[in-house]
Amino acid sequence: MTTNMKINVFLMGLIVIACSGIGLTSCAPDYETKFNVEKLEVPYKSQGIINFTIEGGSKDIKVETNLTPEKWSARSNAEWCQVEKHAAKVTVSAGVNDSYINRVARITVAYGHQSYDIGVTQRGKESILLVEGKQQGVVKQITALDESLSVRVSTDLDLDHILIPDTVHWLQVVSVEPSESEMEKIVTFKTEQNISSNPRYGKVILQSSQDYERVASFVIAQKAKFAFRDILLTPEMLSTNAQETKEGDIKNLIDGEAGTYFHSAWSFSVNEAHYFQIKLVKPITGCKFWYQNRNNNNGKPVEVAITVSADGTTWTSLDNITSGLPTGGASQYQSKDYFTPVAFEYFRFTVNKTNDKVAPTFFNMAEFKIYEIYDL
């Protein structure tokens, strides 16, 4: 190969190498891509519940983020709980809680799908509601003839809920007034006279819409105007217009044995309603009675006339009972209280209808008692 030819080959090689370099250079990118990951995180230690005292204040929630505050959100679901965003934190603030209710709120810090909920609580004022220094257990005694009662209640609440059961019909709230003490109110009740032989009780519950969780209660106990005592009955005091001759002597009514019984006539006819009566040892003006049925299914009184007399001749109606009398075997009945303006010495129990037939017809009974009601 001549010298010229070698020179040409060398030059051609240089040209190829140069062109290759140019090609490689033209294939390389003329820029570099940089990825910025946007993040927002509330550290675990900042996710705990925020507790404010009654006086309120402010506390910070730490936020780790590379975002500007305009790009993420912080909000409260309660008006009393305010939030303010900063570059690396959220400031939570609350004013004074003048209510008696513990307040609860939720703070939400969020960006896109990232979200953090932080609970916030604030204590309310501690209320007072006491009757004679107690929340419950106080019993206020009144006499049978009392028609009003005032109770002093220590409280800083509005007493706008005073609850009395519907069954306590004899007791009503009249007024709630402030007393000379700033922390005391006077609650006045109207009461009906207790013209009976049974004491009665009414529970009163005090509450306020300012703090439903604070409850106080007390009991009003009203004495009875009358008392009652058992009248000792003997066979000589009993009589009937229809004693059955084959069974059930009338003295069985007072023998204290539920297995024995009195039976009125069934083996012969009596042309008037069957009855038994009691001749008392002294006149009385008030009574009530009790009886127990025989342990069988028939001959049970369902309509009864109760009459009384001062002399055993002229009779006065005390009651006509037409409903509520028991008919089951061995069932019992307790009467209401009865009073008369004139004293009586005779008591008569007349059966106008049984669970089988209309009078005149037989009836039976296991036990009978009568009580004198007297003024206390």
Residues near 154 by Cβ (< 8 Å), separated by ≥ 6?
128, 129, 130, 131, 133, 183, 184
Is pTM, for the whole model, over 0.75? no
Enumerate domains of the chain plus CATH numbers. Answer: 40-122 (2.60.40.10), 129-224 (2.60.40.10), 230-375 (2.60.120.260)
Per the CB < 8 A criterion, the answer to whether 332 and 326 are in contact is yes
Write out the two tokens for 334: 């307790």
Q: What is the pLDDT of residue 12?
A: 57
Q: What is the pLDDT of residue 276?
A: 99
Distance CA 186, CA 151 (A): 6
Q: What is the pLDDT of residue 36?
A: 74
Q: What is the pLDDT of residue 319?
A: 98
Residues near 360 by Cβ (< 8 Å), separated by ≥ 6?
242, 269, 270, 271, 272, 273, 274
Handedness of CA 192, 231, 276, 329 (dihedral sign): positive
Write out the two tokens for 284: 């009385």
Residuewise pLDDT in 10s, the chain (376 residues) = 555 554 554 455 555 445 455 444 444 454 455 567 889 999 999 999 999 999 999 999 999 999 999 999 999 999 999 999 999 999 999 999 999 999 999 999 999 989 999 999 999 999 999 999 999 999 999 999 999 999 999 999 999 999 999 999 999 999 999 999 889 999 999 999 998 889 999 999 999 999 999 999 999 999 999 999 999 999 999 999 999 999 999 999 999 999 999 999 999 999 999 999 999 999 999 999 999 999 999 999 999 999 999 999 999 999 999 999 999 999 999 999 999 999 999 999 999 999 999 999 999 999 999 999 999 8
